[in-house]
Amino acid sequence: MTDVAAFSFNKLVIFGVGLIGGSLARALRERGEAEGARTVVGVGRSSASTARALELGVIDGTAALNDAAALREALSGADFVLLAAPVAQTQPLLERIAPFLDADTIVTDAGSTKSDVVAAARAALGARIGQFVPGHPIAGRESSGVDAALPDLYVNRNVVLCALPENSAEAVARVAAMWRATGAAVHEMTSQQHDRVFASVSHLPHVLSFALVEQILNSPDAALKFAFAAGGFRDFTRIAASSPEMWRDVCVANRVALLDELDAYTAVLARLRTAIEAADGAALEAVFARSRVARTEWQDQRGAAVAPSDASK
């Protein structure tokens, strides 16, 4: 993706002013790399979260989703719309927005799955799908909500854009410039690539981690096992403390790619089971040694490069 000049915007409308949306607003307004009027309007399902965002100065104004006049006013003249609500809300949100959307407003999102979001956007926007540029900022914190929003949340983090054939090169470049203005590195891949990559390195590990705790809970000596669980268990299951609602939605939204990865993983486990049963130390050591080298190289490289972030997603 070619680089762009300094990013300017006049009005950004954010649907869902929590950690992700709030941090984008703060980054664009506080980092001083964006030019223009830089008005940010927040729209939420609950007036409490937008009121809090207003109080914190993260946004300049709010509109209620069910107030058509306010929504029309909010969207009028907007350069950008960011959807930062759970991915399952993509289609109803876009259906609600569509009637008020200016022809030159660019809509993007922050969902952690992409094929389902693209399908929802096509269903809601129809012939105007070119206005929607799918995106995924790979960033997160343990805490959520607008109070956790930070102006530097995206510094040195990755943002993946999954441009559609209908997107103009200019629209994609504008969204890329917006994320670069937050300090992020922007990458492009297809929705299918995106979903496969994150099924593998994020969604599957979450399922595997939840599954281990579930298995222990189901065993007759669960209390004894938890009592002696130590550092290995702690690291392996840290992500089993993640939001059940979010991961339920991710697993369902990305189930095609996730099942492929899960099946490939189960095949590796079956191979290891055979080696364990046969007491085949050489086969086990070969796999373990290969994994250790790859894991160590990964750790070394991410120490140096921008690419892999510390995000909790």
Q: How far is the CB of 252 from a copy of itself (least distance, A)?
A: 5
Shorter beta-carbon distance to a copy of itself: residue 131 or 309: 309
Q: How far is the CB of 163 from a copy of itself (least distance, A)?
A: 16
Name residues whose C-beta falls within 8 Å of residue 88's C-beta, 6 or more positions apart in sequence: 249, 253
**Which of these, 299, 87, 305, 113, lies nearest to 197 by C-alpha position?**
113
Q: What is the DSSP string of 252-279?
A: HHTHHHHHHHHHHHHHHHHHHHHHHHTT
Q: How far apart are CA 306 and CA 304, in angstroms?
A: 7
User: 245 by DSSP, 3-state: which?
Assistant: helix
Residue 16 CB, shortest distance to a copy of itself, in Å, is 20
Considering the complex, what minimum distance in angstroms separates the CB of residue 66 from a copy of itself? 25
Cβ-contact 156, 185 below 8 angstroms: yes
Identify which of residues 72 and 273 has a Cβ nearer to a copy of itself in the complex.
273
Degrees, nearest 5: CA angle 285-287-292: 90
User: In terms of CB distance, is 66 or 234 closer to a copy of itself?
Assistant: 234
- When the beta carbons of 68 and 287 are compared against a copy of itself, the nearer one is 287
What angle separates helix 255-277 from helix 191-198, to the nearest 10 degrees? 40
Kindly tell me which of 102 and 310 has the beta carbon lying closer to a copy of itself: 310
Through-space distance between the first and last CA atoms of the chain, rounded to whole angstroms: 24
Tokens matching residue 29:
């307004």
Q: Which is nearer to a copy of itself, 56 or 246 (CB)?
A: 246
How far CA 241 is from CA of 99, 142, 211, 263, in Å, comes to 40, 10, 12, 24
- How far, in Å, CA of 184 to CA of 160, rounded? 10
Output the smallest distance, CB 199 to a copy of itself, in A: 9
Tokens 């979450």 correspond to 206
Q: Which is nearer to a copy of itself, 64 or 213 (CB)?
A: 213
CA quadruple 48, 51, 57, 60: dihedral sign: positive
Between 98 and 283, whose beta carbon lies closer to a copy of itself? 283
Residue 33: both structure tokens together: 């790399």
Q: What CA–CA distance (Å, rounded) separates 55 from 123?
A: 36
CB of 19 to a copy of itself, least distance (A): 14
User: What is the smallest separation between the CB atom of 104 and a copy of itself, expressed in angstroms?
Assistant: 31
Smallest separation, CB 275 to a copy of itself (Å) = 8
